[in-house]
Structure 1
Amino acid sequence: MHTQPKLSLGPVLYYWAKDQLLDFYEEMAAAPVDIIYLGETICSKRNLMRTDDWFSLAERLAAAGKEVVFSTLALLEAESELKRLRRLCENGVHMVEANDMGAVQLMRGKPFVAGHSVNIYNDRTLSLLARQGLRRWVFPVELSSQTLQTMQERRPAGVETELFAFGRLPLAYSARCFTARAFNLPKDDCQYRCLDFPDGLTLAAQDDTRFLALNGIQTQSAHTFNLLPELEQVRALGVDVLRISPQANHTAKVVGLFSGCIKGEIDLITACEKLERLVPVGSCNGYWHGAAGMENRAQAAAESLM
């Protein structure tokens, strides 16, 4: 019998108003998630929440019984960003999710989580980071279940595996702000246009196929990656943590469906049907199957039976 995976709530990847963010985490404090990641991972200009605000929020969530982890920026570009990074890494209470090698270096010798953007593609890298303090790693979103199986077989003792299981896929980062560019604005005078797009700015091809979303310097998939239909395989692979990436609406319902399926309280097929109605565009899982990322193999299999 396989151990049931825990549920985590990844950092909010979008720029939300401070009140919206605080209301969201008040709701999540009562949600059936075990781990909550806090912090800005995309752009340091998104500073409606200061570092001290994140520390205060962490205290409240920890008091509610949640394991809190501070997430760091994926791309550092200024000394001010490095100063904030040092404060997070030296907080002395909560673990840190390192999202670039600079954060890994600062956390060396202390327990830390490696985010998906650290790009751990083989067991040698995993073992190297484990010797430096790695206690949990997030499997890169573009790799397949077959690769995960190999990595799990060679995973160092004492290291947990976390799987990005729901949310728009984080695909790439750039020093250029694509949201500002979409409005012919320079990055240094972006007018905080990200606030207008609480789930990112969806892009469509000339045939109206929606395939990407812009989120400041981050490029995401337009479709929502969803591994709930693969829950039994995920269990068999010995995954320790399933990550749900927050979206502007229905995150609590998403958490409830995942939690209910893990505990056996909700029928998996019924939950998957409900989940499909909660995503902004549609679902995908191609990378998990070693295919094009925007494909939905679960949907294709269902349609073939009709």
Structure 2
Amino acid sequence: MNDSAFSAPATSSTAPRRWGLTVGPVQYLWPRERLLAFYAQLADSPADCIVLGEVVCARRRELRLDDWLALGRELAQAGKQVVHATQTLVETEADLRQIERLGAETDPWVEAGDASALALLQGRVPLVLGPHINIYSHRALQEHADLGVVRWVPPLELSLQAVACIQPPERPVVGWSGRPIETEVWAFGRMPLSFSARCFTARHHGVPKDRCGFPCLDDPDGRLVRSGEGEDFLVLNGTQTQSAGVHCLLGQAKALAAAGVQRLRLSPSSNGFAQVLADFDAVFNGGASPQGRSAAWAGLGVPGPLVSGYAFDRPGMAATATSPLEMPA
């Protein structure tokens, strides 16, 4: 493997800190035309990294692997770092062959959705540990470093305090690139909580999974489920269950910096996402105040409510915190 594939641009120690902004994979089933239009807009966006691929259901084929690879080449020509993501729930030999194909490409970064991707691709391509890889200790991250890992996305339920303990800013785990493994935290979007071999959307519509007719096309931000008391509870997205609340860390730059975070992951919504991305860039890289910015998102169709409990060791449905995190000494 070419060691240059693991290299990241060098930054001056005197230059102002710049936060990396990653657009995560689209978790929902959008029509092909909508997907292509969405990524065409991202080519001129503040995001410097874009994660591509179908990560929820192998039967969703609005774009096939060749389409994703071609789209990745176009975005790379526009100056974006491209990461191709593997499925989170690998069930068939065909799923494994898709992963093998990614490893055979010339120079892609790949985000491992599960352990099978790590087993197939270790040492072959630069790897990103996706949020569903079970990294819950400093030692676990060290054990994964030799697989070719250059970046990790902590599990969503981890607090920022726990993230700082797993990848301490003062003694970070170093990957094959010779640089510390980058920490990228989920900073916006409904949180994927679980995956199943069953399709909950198909079950809701009373159709078999293998002949579902893709009713999730009607739910571009998932299907909201309410509790018996009428409160927003969960979101169904095919084989995936998500939080009803939208995790948002727009006003938490100090807490994120104290935890050693370098990159923010923003998960796409069907409406208003361009403004969300612009606001994160303005706050984290432009020095703008976060006050009042998220209040305008609902009018653009961005789902809510906004929550941030997990980041501060509270229930995940807790409303967005307003005070910065105090990191341990």
TM-score (norm. length: structure 2):
0.88
Residues 48 and 193 from structure 1, CA distance in 2 versus in 1: closer, same or farther, beyond 3 angstroms? same
Runs of 4+ in 1 over 6 A off after TM superposition: none
In the TM superposition, what is the alpha-carbon distance from 1:89 to its structure 2 partner? 2.3
Among 99, 116, 119, the residue aligned to 2:113: 99
Correspondence for 2:131: 116
Bigger helix share:
1
Tell me what 2:3 maps to. none
2:203 to 166, 170, 181: 181
Instruction: State the Cα RMSD in Å.
Output: 1.8
Q: Return the letter of the residue paired with 2:275.
A: K
The structural deviation recorded for 1:4 is 2.8
Match in the other structure for 1:156:
173
Counterparts of 1:195 and 1:89 in 2: how far apart (Å)?
30
Q: How does 1:30-179 map to 2 (within 5 A)?
A: 30-110=44-124, 111-153=126-168, 154-157=171-174, 158=179, 159-179=181-201
The offset of 1:273, in angstroms, is 3.2
Q: Which of 278, 298, 301 in structure 1 is aligned with 2:321?
A: 298
Distance 1:199 1:284 in 2: 17
Deviation by residue 1:17-76 (Cα, 9 ceiling, x = unmatched):
000000000001110001000000011100110111111101110010000000000011
1:274 aligns with 2:288: no
Q: What SS is found at the alignment partner of 1:76?
A: coil
Determine which of 194, 209, 223 is the counterpart of 2:231. 209
Deviations 1:161-215 (A, max 9, x none): 0100000001011111011011111211111111110000110011110110011
The CA deviation at 1:298 is 2.3
Could you tell me how far apart the structure 1 residues matched to 2:286 and 2:297 are? 16
Answer yes or no: is the 8 Å Cα contact 2:308–2:319 preserved in 1.
yes
Does the Cα contact within 8 Å between 2:100 and 2:121 map onto a contact in 1?
Answer: no
Q: Which residue of 2 aligns with 1:259?
A: 281
TM norm structure 1: 0.94
In the alignment, the residues of structure 2 paired with residue 218 and residue 30 of structure 1 have an alpha-carbon distance, to the nearest angstrom, of 30
**Offset of 1:96 from its aligned partner?**
0.3
Match of 2:259 among 224, 227, 237: 237
Query: What's the secondary structure of 2:280's corresponding residue?
Result: helix
Query: Does the CA contact (< 8 Å) of 1:225 and 1:285 recur in 2?
Result: yes
Mark the runs of 5 or more structure 2 residues left unpaired by the alignment: 1-13, 325-329
Are the counterparts in 2 of residues 276 and 283 from structure 1 also a CA contact under 8 Å? no
Q: Which moved more, 1:120-129 or 1:66-75?
A: 120-129
Q: How far apart, in 2, do the equivalents of 1:47 and 1:240 lie?
A: 33
Moved more, 291-300 or 36-45: 291-300
1:190 corresponding residue in structure 2 = 212
Code of the aligned partner of 1:132: L
Q: For residue 242 of structure 2, what is the aligned residue in structure 1?
A: 220
- CA shift, 1:277, in A, is 5.1
1:282-303 deviation line (CA, Å, top 9, x unaligned): 11111111111111142799xx
Partners of 2:69 and 2:162 in 1: CA distance = 36
Count of matched residue pairs: 301
Contact 2:309 2:321 in 1 (8 A): no
Please give the secondary structure, in 1, of the residue aligned with 2:190: strand
Amino acid at match of 1:156: V
Alpha-carbon distance in 1 for matches of 2:40, 2:31 = 14
- Report the secondary structure of 2:292's partner residue: helix
What is the percentage of aligned positions where both structures have the same residue? 41
- Tell me if structure 2 keeps the 8 A contact 1:3–1:238: no
Give the structure 2 partner of residue 7 of structure 1: 21
**What's the CA shift for 1:10?**
0.3
Q: Which residue of 1 aligns with 2:10?
A: none
